[in-house]
Amino acid sequence: MKAIFEKRSENNPYTLLLLHGTGGDERDLLPIADMIDKEASVLSVRGNVLENGMPRFFRRLREGVFDEEDLVFRTKELNEFLDEAAKEHEFDRDKIIAVGYSNGANIAGSLLYHYKDALFGAALLHPMVPRRGIELPDLSGTPVFIGAGENDPICAPEETTELEKSLSQAGADVEVFWSTQGHQLTRDEIVNAATWYQKATKGE
């Protein structure tokens, strides 16, 4: 997978896994990483799937309808990539915190749904429910932030509520931030994600 890795501080054990939205690339969320933690290492990945020339992390049948078979395959592919990247770049595999937007949030959510120890935590920005009808792994104590828009035309509020319930029932410690906006990222959302991150990593 095409990715950027930056080691930022020897004293910070965390790595931010940046996962862009549809049509983005591995540089899109770098400014957000700076807003969340300037000293955490960064692993920013480009999706392996193209939809009309636009990078994505997995295929979809149409807007809002995922290709589940491809989602499962791409989730496994990403999880294995994280294993390899941790060895190659010598960062702590157990201290990866995903920051994903839209399609990137969905693949991050899918990692949580399928693999117990894939992520230390995740900031899911405008995610949908990745899969239904499966049993989630034990996510006890896993910190998860969900950023949602009350007027999001792509991720309806019901999706957020269902996702929160599903992750919470699996044991995750879920915090939801609602804005009155649509599907776009907002500064307030990132500021709240940064506050959540401080609590998740430093107990503040």
Confidence at residue 6, expressed as pLDDT on a 0 to 100 scale: 96
Domains of the chain with CATH codes: 3-202 (3.40.50.1820)
β-pair type (15-19, 41-45): parallel
**Cα atoms in the Cβ-side hemisphere of radius 13 Å centred on 106:** 28
The neighbour count for residue 133, using CB atoms within 10 Å, is: 5
Selecting among 37, 110, 114, 152, the annotated active-site residue is: 152
Burial (CB < 10 A; 0-12, 13-18, 19+), residue 126, is buried
Helix (H) or strand (E) holding 114: helix 103-114
118-168 pLDDT, tens digit per residue, is 999 999 999 999 999 999 999 999 999 999 999 999 999 999 999 999 999
Instruction: Output the pLDDT for position 204.
Output: 53
DSSP codes of every residue in 47-97: -SEEETTEEESS-EEETTEE-HHHHHHHHHHHHHHHHHHHHHHT--GGGEE
Predicted pLDDT of residue 65: 85
Nearest-angstrom CA–CA distance, 31 and 60: 28
Q: Is 102 a catalytic residue?
A: yes
One digit per residue, the tens of pLDDT, for the chain of length 204 reads 899 999 999 899 999 999 999 999 999 999 999 999 999 999 999 999 999 999 999 998 888 789 999 999 999 999 999 999 999 999 999 999 999 999 999 999 999 999 999 999 999 999 999 999 999 999 999 999 999 999 999 999 999 999 999 999 999 999 999 998 899 999 999 999 999 999 999 865
Specify whether 179 is catalytic. no
CB neighbour class for 155 (10 Å; exposed up to 12, middle 13-18, buried from 19): buried
Choosing from 20, 37, 44, 102, the catalytic residue is 102
Question: Catalytic: 126?
Answer: no
pLDDT at 62: 84
Judge whether 158 and 185 are in contact, CB under 8 Å.
no
